Each structure stands twice: as C-alpha cells, then as structure tokens.
Amino acid sequence: MSADLRGRTVVLGVTGGIAAYKSAELVSRLRKAGAAVRVIMTENAARFVTPLTFETMSNHPVVTDTFERPETWEVAHVALAKAADVFVIAPATANILAKMAAGLADDMLSTTVLATKAPVLVAPAMNTAMWSAPVTQKNCAELLSRGVRFVGPEGGFLACGDTGAGRMSEPEQIFEAIVDILQPRRDLAGVKLLVTAGATREYLDPVRYLSNESSGKMGFAIAEAARDRGAEVVAVAGAVTAPIPEGIRVERVTTTLDLLDTMTRLAPEADVVIQAAAPADYRFAEQYSQKLKKADGVPLTIALTENPDVAAAVARLKRPGQILVGFAAETECLLENAEKKLAKKKLDLIVANDVTAPGAGFNVDTNIATLLSARFGRQDCPLQSKRALAETILDTVLRLRGAE
C-alpha cells in the first residue's frame, strides 16, 4: 500500500555531507506521497548542494540562518518547530549529533530541532572512524535514550575512500522510517500478546529481599510497541521503576512463584508470549515473618531453593500456532548460552543480550541484542533504543507467525 502523507508536514534538516544530494530525492518522494516539506540547511550543507535545489523540490523557501527574516515565518525556528509532524535530519553529521546531545543551539537547524516537540529521526552520514569514535557513540546513546530515532548508517564504501559503517541510508529507507512514524502499522490488530517485565523479589523477611536491577523498560517497550501496532496487550509486571504504560492491562506479581501462577493462567489465551522479565532463579528456603536479628558477629548461612523455570512451564502449555519468545541475559558466552536456553525452554525466538555491555541490559533506555531462532537463524541488533529493538522483535514474531 502506498503511503498517504497528505496534510502532514516534514521538516527536513540537511547538514554538510556529500550525501546531502540524496536528500533531494527524499524531498521528492515525500512530496509525491502528499507531505508538505520544509527544508533547513546548515551553511556547510549549502556548500554541497545549493538551497535552490531544495527550494525547487520542496516548493518552499529554504531556511539557512536564524538571522534571515522569511516573509511567511515570523519567528521562523519556533514556527517550523511547531509545524513539524516529524523532524528529520538527513544527512546528520557527527557535529549536529553532538550539538543535539549537548543541547546546543547556535544556528537555525540546531535551534529549531531543540525547540520541536515532534518525533525526531536522524540519518547519520560520516566517515567510519568518526562514526565509531567513542564520543559519537556516546552522543548517539544519549539521543536514543531521549527517544530520537535513527535510520542507518549503513556499511559499505564511503565517499572518503574508507569502507565501513557511515554511509547514509538510501532515501527509500529514510522515507519508510518517516512513514512508520507518521502512519504506525496496525499489523498486530487482533493479536493477543502477553509480555513480562521487571524483576521478581524473593523475601527473606519483611524488609530484606533477593532481586535484580530489571526496571521493566524492555518489557514495557515491547508492550507499548505491540499496543501501537494494534495488539491486545497484557503485561505481567514484577518490581519495576519504569512508568506503567497506558492502554495496557497490567497484572502485578512479586515472586517467581507468583509469576508462574499468573503466566500459566494467562499464557494459554495468548497468541504471542514474550518474556522479558528477570525472575529470581532462587528463593529463600525459609522465610521469616519478623525482621531477622543480627547474631553478634556469628556468620549467618541461609539456604536457597531453586525456583521453577516459568518459560519452560509456559512452553509445556504451548498450543499450535502460538509464538514463544524469551530473553537471555548473559555476562559471558552470549550466543552459546542463549542457544542452550532457546532449546531448553522450547522457545521460537530468543533475544540474547550481554548485560555487561555499556548501553545494554538492565535499567538503561537502549539495548544491544542478537535474535536467534531455529527458523531464521541469527540477526544482530546493534545499539538502539529498547523501543526500536521491540519493533524488530515484533517484526520477527510476525514473520514466525507467517511461517507457521
């Protein structure tokens, strides 16, 4: 189905890179789909492509500097920031990413993007060494954690002669990423999705417990993405620090045994079960109804009992056509351990994450993962927002449903 973007305004920021010429094609695609396009160019961008090109393609004056006084835009940056249904920067240089991460506003583009409340999409383009520089990666992680979306960069041969990641995505991919933002897919309509989030807690006494750092961010990102794509979502949440999403039925649990009870009750009704929670693998063999007293220096030995494997129990109840997804939180031998869990827990798909990697795992807004399934093999997902990873997991779930 071709996209209909009539009535939508895309503000396109163009920064100084050789890929700037490709953005003219993006403008053309957007206009053909009915969108109004307003272009802001940095001074450096105007050295690669003339503003006249973008003026002609967009059929509007191009804004290049905060001190210009365009006839129709009274306070141009505020007006453009407000007019945007989506704010796209393509190509996005290391410089604009750094400015955005730092909140700098020293020209028309950085000022306007700082002021916008619209979703922001960036298509980075730069030399491989600049892209992989720790400071650029840190800036990207910061932007991801604030909800800025990324498309690319792609790997390949770069204009500077290097080979590696840094090439701007093709206009078609950027266009599709814009359409995804403006017209969220409803490809999960009618699907019942059950997702777990957060940590379970095992109490020793009324004040002490065994748990982990899971915040619920990953599970809730999946719940929100599935909700936005039309699924009927139930989230089973343990202890969480992330806000509870709206429009989702949430069942609360405390211990792994509670989780087991709730999941064995709800899973048979679900078409898709995704287990992103971090259940405690052990509970205290004995629990005390009163706060345990200190024993004046005498070492305390406490026995632990193994908790049941909830995912394996859910798999035993699996009905035909149901898709089961688990996570693997690893600190070593990521893929090897995840493969074992995929088989042992009888999952259709496992999302392996190294929880010691910066920007991945517990209580951060981003993740780095590898998706493993018997059906489709391996798919690497580099550093990205948990929401973006959630979308990829759901895309794979849909492919698995289609392959059933």
Active site residues: 160
Give the pair of three-digit tokens for residue 338.
Answer: 């995840």
* Residue 379, amino acid: Q
Q: Which stretch binds ligand PMT (CB under 6 A): 25-33, 63-71, 201-209, 305-313?
A: 305-313
Q: Smallest distance, Å, CB 245 to ligand PMT?
A: 13
Residue 258 lies near ligand PMT (rule: CB under 6 A): no
Please say which residue, 46 or 368, places its beta carbon nearer to ligand PMT: 368
Three-state secondary structure string covering 125-177:
CCCHHHHHCHHHHHHHHHHHHCCCEECCCECCECCCCCECCCECCCHHHHHHH
Q: Smallest distance, Å, CB 347 to ligand PMT?
A: 8
Residue 251 lies near ligand PMT (rule: CB under 6 A): no
Give the pair of three-digit tokens for residue 149.
Answer: 């979306």
What secondary structure letter does DSSP report for 307?
Answer: P
Query: What is the phi/psi pair of residue 396, to 5°?
Result: -70, -40
Residue 264 lies near ligand PMT (rule: CB under 6 A): no
Please say which residue, 118 or 328, places its beta carbon nearer to ligand PMT: 328
Q: Which stretch binds ligand PMT (CB under 6 A): 43-51, 84-92, 165-173, 358-366?
A: 358-366
Q: Is there a cis peptide before residue 124, judged by omega within 30 degrees of 0?
A: no
Cα–Cα distance for residue pair 404/400, rounded to 1 Å: 6
Residue 392 lies near ligand PMT (rule: CB under 6 A): no
Cβ-proximal residues to 64 (8 Å cutoff; 6+ apart), any chain: 40, 41, 42, 43, 46, 51, 108
Cα–Cα distance for residue pair 330/59, rounded to 1 Å: 53
Among 179, 277, 324, 342, binds ligand PMT (CB under 6 A): 277
What does the per-residue mask of binding to ligand PMT show for 204-223, with x meaning CB under 6 A? Answer: ----------xxxxxx----
Residue 245 lies near ligand PMT (rule: CB under 6 A): no
Residue 90 parent element (H or E): strand 86-92
Q: Which stretch binds ligand PMT (CB under 6 A): 68-76, 177-185, 303-311, 394-402?
A: 303-311
∠ at Cα 226 (388, 397), nearest 5°? 80
Give the pair of three-digit tokens for residue 402.
Answer: 């289609």
Among 123, 278, 394, 397, binds ligand PMT (CB under 6 A): 278
Residue 311 lies near ligand PMT (rule: CB under 6 A): yes
Q: Smallest distance, Å, CB 301 to ligand PMT?
A: 23
Give, as ranges, the residues between 113 and 172 that touch ligand PMT (CB under 6 A): none
Among 65, 281, 339, 395, binds ligand PMT (CB under 6 A): 281
Residue 363 lies near ligand PMT (rule: CB under 6 A): yes
Please say which residue, 188 or 278, places its beta carbon nearer to ligand PMT: 278
Q: Smallest distance, Å, CB 357 to ligand PMT?
A: 11
Q: What is the b/e burial string over 357-366, where b = at least 16 CB atoms within 10 angstroms of the residue's CB?
A: bebbbbebbb
Cα–Cα distance for residue pair 119/130, rounded to 1 Å: 25
Residue 393 lies near ligand PMT (rule: CB under 6 A): no
Please say which residue, 29 or 387, places its beta carbon nearer to ligand PMT: 387
Cα–Cα distance for residue pair 230/168, rounded to 1 Å: 31
Cα–Cα distance for residue pair 18/129, rounded to 1 Å: 16
Q: Which stretch binds ligand PMT (CB under 6 A): 23-31, 154-162, 229-237, 320-328?
A: 320-328
Q: Smallest distance, Å, CB 257 to ligand PMT?
A: 10
Cα–Cα distance for residue pair 240/51, rounded to 1 Å: 49
Please say which residue, 3 or 195, places its beta carbon nearer to ligand PMT: 195
- Provide the residue count of the chain: 404
Among 140, 191, 315, 329, binds ligand PMT (CB under 6 A): 329
Return the half-sphere exposure (C-beta side, CA atoms, 13 A cut-off) of residue 23. 36
Q: For residue 159, how many other CB atoms are within 10 A of its CB? A: 12
Residue 283 lies near ligand PMT (rule: CB under 6 A): no
By CB under 6 A, how many residues form the interface with ligand PMT? Answer: 30
Please say which residue, 64 or 256, places its beta carbon nearer to ligand PMT: 256
What secondary structure letter does DSSP report for 361?
Answer: S
The residue ranges that bind ligand PMT (CB under 6 A) are 196, 198, 214-219, 256, 275-279, 281, 307, 309-311, 326-329, 341, 345, 353, 355, 361-363
